């Protein structure tokens, strides 16, 4: 018997074991999901312990997961059986020009008033960061030659995030075609799946979600009206993920590189500025991004190098 025949027999036996194993019920957002216990054990040690180690969940025959939404868990189940998953769909928003002028003016007045009342003396406004980058007030070293956005974009696209499953080769994600296309749900579907896989030690799924997010961002055109889509992702990632030792597989590192690409667009928008002022993107990370963008190098410096900038007193 040749090697290929033995591998085929092993694959058949594995499939038989999976589908002969009992179904286990997970309850997510009040929805029952039934999945073969063997396939859960194959992919996740923490989930395997939950259903096979004598814990309460194994005794009662079901587990209630309160740290995941139904959409994310459905994508996990789809991936567990097929090796792939589908991200969420984008949403078409109503053109703001269809709203009444009076309502829009009133909304702008409320937003301006709120921003003025929220301003304090602890952190300069984000527009000061923009002026800082656009001028040589702080005497950047002559060796720091700012690169163009196109150069950063090309470098970002060339980054590789390899998935570990042979059945995950799919066409590139769809590129957005209008500022009316809200992609926040698309981005968050990958990010939430990444966070779920990270918590339950599903490395192959974690790497696939990272790859899908990278491909989606690579094809995404960041219109000023869509900055909020990216800001939502930044807030979520820095809230639910920790610092990872392997930078090559870190979702924070991926987003830092993307912010470098779209720095000029992001820094000019209120939603990103509020994210900075609320410290939802930590100042140490922003300083590292700012230095990378001004320096013109695609490789971000270490966090401890940020204090070499003349702007470290703002943190």
Judged against a pLDDT cut of 60, whether residue 105 lies above it is answered with no
Q: Enumerate residues 6+ apart whose C-beta is below 8 A from 200.
A: 44, 46, 47
231 or 145: which leads in pLDDT: 231
Q: Residue 297's pLDDT band (boundaries 50, 70, 90)?
A: low
Q: How far is CA 52 from CA 56, 61, 263, in A?
A: 10, 10, 48
Torsion angle (degrees, nearest 10) of CA 245, 246, 250, 253: 80
Judged against a pLDDT cut of 90, whether residue 167 lies above it is answered with no
Tell me which of 98-107, 230-239, 240-249 is least confident. Answer: 98-107
Contact between 97 and 181 under an 8 Å Cβ cutoff? The reply is no
Give pLDDT tens digits for 194-226.
999 999 999 999 999 999 999 999 999 999 999
65 or 56: which leads in pLDDT: 65
Q: How far is CA 267 from CA 49, 107, 132, 133, in A?
A: 46, 22, 11, 10
Rg (CA), the chain: 23
Judged against a pLDDT cut of 80, whether residue 132 lies above it is answered with no
User: Both tokens of residue 223?
Assistant: 């219109």
Q: Which residue bears the tokens 């301003």?
A: 119
pTM: 0.78
Q: What angle in degrees, to the nearest 10, is found between the helix axes of 251-261 and 227-240? A: 150
Q: Residue 1's pLDDT band (boundaries 50, 70, 90)?
A: low
Q: Which long-range contacts (CB under 8 A, 24 or more apart) does 113-117 make?
A: 115/270, 115/274
Dist. CA 62–CA 34, nearest whole Å: 9
Judge residue 300's burial from the number of C-beta atoms within 10 Å of its C-beta, 0-12 exposed, 13-18 middle, 19 or more buried: buried
Which pLDDT score is estimated for 141?
46
Judged against a pLDDT cut of 50, whether residue 308 lies above it is answered with no
């Amino acid at each position: 018997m040749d090697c290929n025949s033995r591998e085929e027999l092993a694959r058949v036996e594995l499939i038989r074991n999976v589908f002969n194993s009992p179904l286990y019920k997970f309850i997510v957002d009040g929805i029952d999901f039934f999945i073969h216990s063997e396939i859960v054990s194959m992919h996740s040690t923490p989930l395997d312990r939950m259903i096979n180690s004598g814990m309460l969940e194994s005794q009662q025959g079901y587990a209630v997961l309160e740290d995941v939404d139904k959409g994310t868990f459905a994508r996990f189940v789809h991936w567990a059986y097929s090796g792939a998953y589908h991200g969420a769909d984008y949403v078409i928003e109503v053109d703001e020009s269809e709203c009444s002028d009076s309502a829009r003016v009133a909304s702008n007045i409320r937003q301006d008033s709120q921003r003025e009342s929220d301003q304090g003396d602890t952190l300069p406004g984000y527009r000061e960061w923009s002026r800082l980058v656009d001028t040589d007030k702080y005497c950047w070293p002559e060796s720091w030659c700012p690169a163009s956005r196109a150069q950063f974009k090309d470098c970002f696209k060339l980054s590789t995030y390899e998935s570990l499953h042979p059945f995950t080769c799919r066409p590139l994600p769809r590129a957005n075609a209008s500022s009316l296309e809200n992609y926040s749900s698309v981005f968050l579907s990958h990010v939430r799946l990444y966070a779920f896989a990270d918590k339950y030690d599903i490395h192959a799924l974690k790497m696939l979600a990272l790859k899908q997010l990278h491909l989606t961002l690579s094809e995404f055109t960041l219109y000023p009206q869509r900055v909020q889509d990216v800001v939502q992702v930044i807030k979520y990632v820095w809230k639910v993920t920790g610092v990872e030792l392997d930078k090559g597989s870190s979702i924070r590192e991926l987003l830092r590189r993307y912010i470098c690409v779209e720095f000029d667009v992001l820094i000019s928008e209120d939603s990103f500025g509020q994210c900075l002022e609320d410290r939802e993107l930590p100042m140490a990370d922003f300083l590292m991004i700012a230095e990378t963008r001004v320096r013109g190098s695609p490789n971000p410096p270490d966090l401890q190098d940020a204090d070499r900038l003349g702007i470290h007193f703002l943190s």
